[in-house]
């Protein structure tokens, strides 16, 4: 029996569309670059101090691209959102130094202008992290492939 679509289902659909932005805006470029031999992203992962930078670069690219697409359409949503959230946490706290930037904003730290410039844009990574955690906790909602598959069972 099909449940009635609720405003929560529509809200989750809107929230899940951030997955499409993550996939196309961040993941596709990484996956394309990795598949064509561009090594810039691998170098960036290596500079973060992560082991096996090639493996972690591919994991990040695929979790953003494939995971973002899966979140957007609502397929394997909680799992996809978990992997995307892990990648966004790494981006926010290791690459973009969110804690240091926040400490500077509130006057608890005084990093150099170069350090802050190199940190880039932590807000975007934190926003994607928050969205992916919310989707992971809530699930895909009624307007999703996950719901259609559950109804068939």
Which structural domain range is residue 137 located in? Answer: 7-152
Number of domains in the chain: 1
In a domain, 77, yes or no: yes
In a domain, 139, yes or no: yes
Query: Which residue blocks in the chain are alpha helix, DSSP H?
Result: 7-22, 28-35, 40-47, 53-73, 77-90, 98-105, 113-119, 122-138, 145-152
Helix/strand/coil for 113: helix
Render pLDDT for 47-63 as a digit per residue (tens, 0 to 9): 999 999 999 999 999 99
Render pLDDT for 137-147 as a digit per residue (tens, 0 to 9): 999 999 999 99
In a domain, 100, yes or no: yes
pTM of this structure: 0.90
In a domain, 1, yes or no: no
In a domain, 2, yes or no: no
| Residue 29 in this model has a pLDDT that exceeds 90 | yes
Render pLDDT for 63-122 as a digit per residue (tens, 0 to 9): 999 999 999 999 999 999 999 999 999 999 999 999 988 898 899 999 888 988 888 889
In a domain, 55, yes or no: yes
Q: What is the pLDDT of residue 2?
A: 58
Rounded to whole angstroms, what are the CA distances from 19 to 8, 22, 29, 35, 107? 17, 5, 15, 21, 33
Bigger pLDDT: 5 vs 97: 97
Q: What is the pLDDT of residue 65?
A: 96
């Amino acid at each position: 029996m099909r449940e009635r679509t609720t405003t929560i289902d529509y809200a989750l659909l809107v929230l899940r569309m951030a997955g499409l932005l993550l996939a196309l805006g961040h993941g596709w470029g990484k996956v394309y670059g990795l598949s064509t031999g561009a090594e810039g992203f691998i170098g960036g992962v290596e500079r973060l101090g992560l082991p096996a930078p090639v493996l972690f670069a591919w994991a990040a690219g695929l979790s953003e691209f494939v995971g973002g697409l899966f979140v957007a359409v609502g397929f394997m949503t909680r799992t996809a959102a978990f992997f995307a959230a892990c990648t966004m946490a790494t981006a926010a706290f290791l690459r973009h130094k969110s804690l240091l930037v926040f400490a500077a904003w509130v006057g608890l730290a005084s990093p150099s202008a170069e350090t802050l410039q190199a940190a880039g844009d932590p807000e975007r990574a934190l926003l994607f992290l928050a969205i992916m955690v919310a989707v992971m906790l809530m699930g895909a909602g009624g307007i999703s492939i996950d719901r259609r598959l559950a109804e068939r069972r």
